Chains A and B, each alone.
Chain A
């Protein structure tokens, strides 16, 4: 089974994943969040007690399913490779940066596409930053950027993240030790079994199609290759139809209740950070989870960085707030990026530049 050898198959993969996201949104996941990797890692980090923001704590079965789906399909199709050793600590930092940028914007690249399909103009603004961030990463690649070679490691090494995800699933099913929000986005979710199945399907399809939101823009800029872009187009079209059909398509900037803000500069800079860091790390947050599932310890370290970054966002007050309706006054309260979040975003961009231009391919042999 190969989903990546033609644009039609890749678009079909996008359609399948779009259907999964639409179903989960219909079954209870937050409005236009549906299937956001950064938000769901943040929620899972909260469930594990890594941060204490009570409204965003829930062990999202989608994240568990993504990793396990990629693991099962890669073992089944003999694509599982246990590898590691390509600048793991730099990848850890890039993972942190990816999530900090995501939570300044309020969403990963996947959620940016989902928000775009729901008419959220802030996401279209952020797309400018994402493209510029990927382009900066491509510039670094052309100048010889590399994080060095990964090498084969013990077969069990690549199973660590899938095993940890299975462990979180067991805790969620058989204990009450994990935290779970009673209000806010963390309390809004599809039934556990539906989320898990959705994650498994999404993970398997993403593994076979090489789905990557940073990679799709990167390939267009670097090689004029639109193959991976077909996946995004398929997903966007399905979500657009879903939003139009269910009355969730609302064009505007200051739309309350969709967990977004209209700080244009910070929407752009947040996604610039994500695009830049994801290009340096070799893939978007979704792709990192998939690569970790198929045995890459380097991507597993990046995922760990994303968990720590998500926790820091809420312990240090870096994450943006979404525009909301004041229940008492019925006034719209504009969402915003806190000062610490702005400083963190700038620091992250600087760190990306340092990483991009101090790690050369020649030095990585």
Chain B
């Protein structure tokens, strides 16, 4: 699974990296972010682009998997 590690990056970098990863991916993409609002932004971006996503909290960061 393609993974994007956007932990600790400032806005809008996590979303830019997510958009870039989704463009070139045929399968699911895993996005790692630090801030709760960044997790929400990634989930919303996936929803706005017709993709399903599931999110979970890990040790100090969030993992969002976009199907």
A interface residues, Cβ below 8 angstroms from B: 2, 4-5, 79, 81, 83, 86, 141-142, 146-152, 210, 215, 218-219, 222-223, 281-283, 361
Contact = CB atoms under 8 A, between A and B. Distances in A.
Interface in B7-61: 7-13, 15-16, 19, 34-37, 40, 44, 60
A305 B49 CA distance: 39
B12 A152 contact: no
Contact of B9 (A142, A146, A219, A281): A146
Interface of B: 7-13, 15-16, 19, 34-37, 40, 44, 60
Nearest to A223: B15
Contacts of A79: 35-37
Given A4-B37, A222-B16, A150 B8 contact: yes
Contacts of A86: 8, 10
* Consensus secondary structure, chain A interface: loop
Given A146-B9, A146-B13, A219-B12, 6 more contacts: A148-B9, A149-B7, A215-B11, A215-B12, A281-B10, A361-B13
10 contacts: A2-B40, A83-B8, A141-B13, A141-B16, A142-B16, A146-B13, A148-B9, A150-B10, A215-B11, A222-B16
Nearest to A294: B35
A5 B34 contact: no
B10 A152 contact: no
A91 to B, nearest CB: 9
B40 A152 contact: no
A223 B9 CA distance: 18
Contacts of B36: 79
B55 to A, nearest CB: 13
B11 A149 contact: no
A276 to B, nearest CB: 15
A4 B37 CA distance: 9
A210 B38 CA distance: 10
B8 A283 contact: no
